[in-house]
Amino acid sequence: MAEGGKRFLTLGIESSCDDTALAVLEGGHGLLAEVISSQIDSHSVYGGVVPELASRMHQEAILPLLESVLAKAGIGEPAKELSLIAVTSGPGLMGSLLVGVMTAKALSQGWGVSLIGVNHLEGHIFANAAVSEELKPPFISLIVSGGHTEVVLVRAFGDYELLGSTRDDAAGEAYDKVSKVLGLGYPGGPIIDRLAAGGDPNAFQLPLPLASTKEIEFSFSGLKTAAMTLIGKETALGEEFPLADLCASFQKAVVDSLMGKIKLAVKRTGVKRLTVSGGVAANSGLRAALTEYSRDRGVELFLPPRGMCTDNAVMIAAAGYSSYMRGNRSDLHLSPNPSWSIW
């Protein structure tokens, strides 16, 4: 509860890339309302996110979404009812971040409501905490998406150690690039995942970069190149292309690469509590592999609902609430930081 017995309500705003999202959260877990506007259809014709287009679409969407989320949450007087505005202020696309941050600052000033800037990756860490009150540190967090592949040790909320990350492409980025070569569309992850369900994962032997190293690190550029080379060779044969088999084999290589380093992180830290977040956390192959590993090795696993895997404002509101309760504050000098690191 906020001061005077008022409910502590946080308005979360997320606009780091190509989704405009807002949510109202009561405390750290009570979701009152959530709205999102996806830009996928607009960017898919270009095969990826166009930054200038993304920022313009955020500008068009954010105020109508604000009206919608407040109405759904039953908030008629935000100046009196809201306790905090939490906004993603980095990392991300500068133009996209700017829309969210400037909107949050204007609302904070106009309503007289406290403001907190949230790191987008900390938001992903809270994707599970927002829906699972049982999740308590320490735990290992795998953040895996189109822009990020990191393994993080969460000693406490606000105390994070980067155990390892990708040297080059993120896992989701590799999915997108292979999908583009195959002519399947954007984003590539869900499309390849769906096709992989009908293929043979052992049909093609693709490399597992850095599999033999004793470091918690990833590299998906080589795997992407190997897959693209294989596609070129298969296409040149002029026969019917085994699309489902290629998708299944590629997905197996990605999942095996991720699982190998997750197992290393658990072994090295001794922490047997694991969370996964980011767009690739919705991947059926990865979720199945994690579930099997959890069952076989006695690791406590937290998987977010698929709707919480991609960028959303619920996780930003939850992370902002936690940060505020730890004593952190932002003011009207808050600025977007596209390369903000919390490690």
Say what the pLDDT of residue 237 is.
78
| Beta carbons within 8 Å of 150's beta carbon, 6+ residues apart | 121, 142, 143, 144, 162, 164, 165, 166
Say what the pLDDT of residue 2 is.
60
Residue 235 pLDDT class (50, 70, 90 cuts): confident
Give yes or no for a contact between 99 and 59, defined as CB atoms under 8 angstroms apart: yes
Statement: residue 307 has pLDDT above 70: yes
- Which residues does residue 268 pair with via DSSP β-bridges, in sequence order? none
Burial of residue 167 (number of CB atoms within 10 Å: 0-12, 13-18, 19+): middle
Statement: residue 4 has pLDDT above 60: no
pTM of the model: 0.93
Q: What is the mean pLDDT of the chain?
A: 94
Farthest-apart Cα atoms in the chain, separation = 74
Say what the pLDDT of residue 6 is.
79
Euclidean distance between CA atoms 216 and 54, whole angstroms: 33
* Mean pLDDT of the 44-52 span: 87
Using one digit for the tens of pLDDT, what is the confidence trace for 66-120? 999 999 999 999 999 999 999 999 999 999 999 999 999 999 999 999 999 999 9
Statement: residue 163 has pLDDT above 70: yes
* Mean pLDDT of the 254-275 span: 97
